[in-house]
Amino acid sequence: MSQPLRFVLAFVTAALLAACGSSPPAPDWQMNAKGSLERAVDAYLSGKDRVAASEFAHARAEVARTGRPDLLARTELIRCASQVASLVLEPCAGFEALRTDAAPAERAYADYLAGRVSPQDAQRLPVPHRAIAAGALALPDGADPVARLVAAGVLFQMGRVNPAVVAQAVDTASAQGWRRPLLAWLGVQLKLAEQAEAAQEVERIRRRIQIVVQQKS
């Protein structure tokens, strides 16, 4: 599994491993779901919608073979995390339909993705996100790229994002070549520059956006 995807897949893959016991080899559904989730997240962040939708659907179908709604709930969190990283701030409908059977940690993470987690639930979150839930205004040090973008998206939803966080999110998405979050965060950065009436910065950001849009076309 590639380093950038380790965090965002950890919630699901750890549960999938536990569900199968410790005796090798791993069941087909587990390996199939893991591979599809990796490809789905990378495709989504890269702006390849059809590939992402197909891979997410395949991963969900594989997990559904277990009849475990709690595992399906964790799978849906992967989709929602990649959306938050890209500032696609929509209700996590797939998870909410399964919330009743989700564990407290997954419910806390879903609330965190929606920007409404309480400080008392911070310890239920993956380590890179506990400080954000507790009130921090900076991205987690040492976190992988997806975790940093998710944290930035949560801060944005909470109304606590600042220019430094936006710049870090832009740099993170750019370094990975992830078009979807890059365009989203460049859009935020452009708006901040326009509000500050920084004409040269506005033009610089617009040139970056044009390059990404033209390449996507």
Q: Is residue 211 part of a domain?
A: no
Q: Is residue 198 part of a domain?
A: no
Q: Is residue 215 part of a domain?
A: no
Angstrom CA distances, 82 to 24, 51, 176, stand at 30, 14, 14
Q: Is residue 54 part of a domain?
A: yes
Q: Is residue 132 part of a domain?
A: yes
Q: Is residue 62 part of a domain?
A: yes
Q: Is residue 193 part of a domain?
A: no
pLDDT at position 216 is: 66
| CA-based R_g, the chain, Å | 18
pLDDT at position 124 is: 92
Domain that holds residue 59: 3-163
pLDDT at position 1 is: 42
Kindly give the confidence (pLDDT) of every residue in the chain, 217 residues in length, as a single tens digit, with 9 standing for 90 and above.
444 344 445 545 444 444 444 456 789 999 999 999 999 999 999 999 999 999 999 999 999 999 999 999 999 999 999 999 999 999 999 999 999 999 999 999 999 999 998 878 889 998 889 999 888 999 988 888 999 999 999 999 999 999 999 999 999 999 999 999 999 999 999 999 999 999 999 999 999 999 999 976 5
- Domains of the chain: total: 1
Q: Is residue 186 part of a domain?
A: no
pTM for the model: 0.89
pLDDT at position 20 is: 41
